[in-house]
């Protein structure tokens, strides 16, 4: 009886070992198969990228030439685009992020968008009062924001950009930043090296969490205001007095006509909002600095949403561009006979919000201005 029990125990142990071995082999084979699939996908992706790379780089060069051509005198007899009201459109305002057809045509499958930095908030030229307004807007508005928190953040910004180590009443200087787990030294200069540097200022990483900084801000040029004909949606969202509905109204109107002056802006938005945002507004200034984005066009299947994928006749299928990252260069173009100066290259930059005006979403009816 004892021998029979031992034999049964040994058989049970063998069965358990066999089962565990099978499980381990299954896991190993599955892992190897997944690795092979990943390697195959990576190889296919790399092959696709290598094939598209020449077209992408050509599009970037053609976009640079487009900006150089813009610095030339307009050809005699050129027919400029007109609005529905017969007003001439300003050619330079096409550099507001809309997809472009260049004078030197890019490959058919490559999308090019150019953003004039006059449509962004310049961190190196922003007055203290304007920074306070940005902070108040991010904290809920001038009436909802905690005054002490606003003042503390303004003071820390002032300490970061002033030329000394004297700490403001609620600010932060070298002693604070050196006490961090990863210590660093404050800028102590009004000229930031990058827009991302703002996240190093005490409290600002939380303040601007979730904001596409490259879309909203710039450090190039000397403009203190924002050209609303060129402004990114991200920049407008940070300005005082503008809610989403007013922002979409502005974007929708400029798709049809240029915003020529403050009077036209005042007719587009309520008086209270106009009072708050008018100090930021310009309708004429353009810059010499641009962000150029180029990327392969999304496939038709990527343009279709889950809700309307079966409705191939729906014109809204291609309204939204699903691409979120692109090859990007920041360049300065001063004249038509001098090559652009490249300030920054980012092969995986996040695009600003490229959607057209969301008029239907907010049930907006655009006014007709006189």
What does the domain layout of the chain look like in residue ranges? Answer: 1-124+191-370
Neighbours of 356 (CB within 10 A): 13
- The per-type count for the chain, helices as H runs and strands as E runs, is 11, 9
Q: Are 193 and 60 in contact (CB under 8 A)?
A: no
Task: Please state the pTM of the whole predicted model.
Answer: 0.83
* Higher local confidence (pLDDT), 10 or 264: 264
Question: Helix, strand, coil % (nearest 5) of the chain?
Answer: 45, 15, 45
What's the confidence (pLDDT) of residue 317? Answer: 39
The Cα 204–Cα 222 span in angstroms is: 23
pLDDT digits (tens, 9 = 90+) for 43-68: 555 555 567 899 999 999 999 999 99
**Maximum pairwise Cα distance, the chain:** 112
Q: 262: closest CA among 240, 281, 248, 276?
A: 281
The Cα 96–Cα 355 span in angstroms is: 12
pLDDT digits (tens, 9 = 90+) for 277-332: 999 999 899 999 999 999 999 875 555 554 544 444 444 434 578 999 999 999 99
pLDDT digits (tens, 9 = 90+) for 240-250: 999 999 999 99
Per-residue pLDDT, averaged over 170-194, amounts to: 94
Neighbours of 297 (CB within 10 A): 15
Mean pLDDT in the chain?
A: 88
What's the confidence (pLDDT) of residue 316? Answer: 45
| DSSP labels, 4-39 | HHHHHHHHHHHHHHHHHHHHHHHHHHHHHHHHHHHH
What's the confidence (pLDDT) of residue 52? Answer: 85
Tell me which residue has tokens 């601007």: 208
Structure tokens at 246: 């007013």
Q: Given pLDDT bands bounded at 50, 70 and 90, which one contains residue 27? A: confident
Structure tokens at 95: 């550099």
Could you tell me what percent of the chain has a pLDDT over 70?
87
Q: Given pLDDT bands bounded at 50, 70 and 90, which one contains residue 114? A: very high
Could you tell me what percent of the chain has a pLDDT over 90?
71
pLDDT digits (tens, 9 = 90+) for 138-152: 999 999 999 999 999
């Amino acid at each position: 009886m004892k021998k029979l029990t031992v034999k049964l125990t040994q058989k049970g142990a063998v069965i358990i070992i066999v089962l565990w071995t099978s499980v381990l082999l299954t896991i190993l084979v599955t892992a190897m198969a997944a690795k092979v699939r990943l390697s195959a996908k990576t190889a296919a992706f790399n092959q696709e990228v290598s094939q598209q790379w020449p077209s992408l780089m050509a599009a970037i060069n053609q976009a640079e030439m487009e900006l150089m051509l813009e610095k030339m005198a307009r050809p005699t007899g050129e027919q400029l685009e007109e609005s529905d009201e017969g007003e001439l459109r300003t050619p330079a305002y096409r550099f507001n992020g809309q997809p472009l057809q260049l004078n030197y045509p890019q490959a058919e499958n490559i999308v090019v968008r150019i953003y004039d930095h006059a449509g962004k908030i310049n961190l190196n030229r922003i007055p203290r009062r304007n920074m306070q307004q940005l902070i108040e807007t991010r904290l809920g508005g001038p009436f909802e924001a905690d005054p002490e928190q606003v003042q503390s953040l303004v003071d820390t910004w002032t300490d970061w950009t002033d030329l000394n180590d004297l700490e403001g009443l609620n600010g932060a200087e070298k002693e604070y930043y050196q006490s961090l787990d990863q210590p660093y030294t404050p800028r102590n200069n009004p000229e930031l090296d990058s827009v991302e540097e703002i996240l190093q200022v005490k409290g600002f990483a939380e303040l601007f969490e979730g904001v596409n900084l490259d879309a909203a801000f710039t450090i190039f040029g000397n403009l203190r205001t924002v050209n609303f004909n060129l402004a990114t949606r991200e920049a407008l969202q940070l300005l005082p007095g503008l809610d989403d509905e007013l922002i979409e109204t502005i974007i929708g109107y400029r798709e049809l006509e240029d915003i020529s002056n403050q009077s036209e802006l005042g007719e587009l938005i309520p008086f209270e909002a106009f009072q708050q945002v008018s100090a930021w507004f310009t309708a004429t200034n353009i810059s010499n600095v641009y962000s150029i984005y180029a990327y392969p066009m999304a496939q038709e299947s990527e343009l279709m949403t889950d809700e309307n994928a079966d409705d191939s006749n729906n014109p809204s299928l291609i309204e939204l561009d699903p691409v979120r990252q692109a090859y990007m260069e920041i360049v300065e173009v001063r004249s038509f006979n001098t090559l652009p100066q490249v300030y920054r290259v980012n092969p995986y930059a996040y695009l600003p919000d490229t959607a057209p005006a969301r008029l239907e979403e907010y049930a907006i009816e655009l006014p007709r201005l006189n």
